[in-house]
């Protein structure tokens, strides 16, 4: 049985949405890593 074009489009829309969410998570994770590095540098005993 072949899937209908409507079903294929529905699945592709969900894939697109999931990819957008994943890209947002990656971007936020990068910002968190950068911020934690700054906090670590500022709270390090070696901070000038």
Q: Give the pLDDT of residue 6.
A: 93
pTM for the whole structure: 0.67
The CA dihedral of 27, 32, 34, 38, to the nearest 10 degrees, is: 160
Predicted local distance difference test score (pLDDT) of residue 2: 82
Query: From residue 37, how far is each of 7, 40, 42, 46, 48 by CA, in Å?
Result: 45, 5, 9, 14, 15
pLDDT tens digits for 1-48?
A: 788 999 999 999 999 999 999 999 999 999 999 998 887 777 777 655
- For residues 41 and 18, give the distance between their C-alpha atoms in angstroms, rounded to a whole number: 35
Determine the Cα–Cα distance for residues 20 and 31; give it in Å rounded to an integer: 17
Length of the chain: 48
The whole-number pLDDT of residue 48 equals: 55
Q: Would you list the domain boundaries of the chain?
A: 18-43
């Amino acid at each position: 049985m072949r899937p209908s074009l409507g079903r294929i489009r529905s699945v592709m829309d969900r894939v697109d949405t999931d990819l957008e969410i994943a890209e947002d998570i990656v971007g936020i994770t990068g910002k968190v890593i950068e911020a934690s590095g700054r906090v670590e540098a500022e709270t390090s005993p070696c901070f000038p």
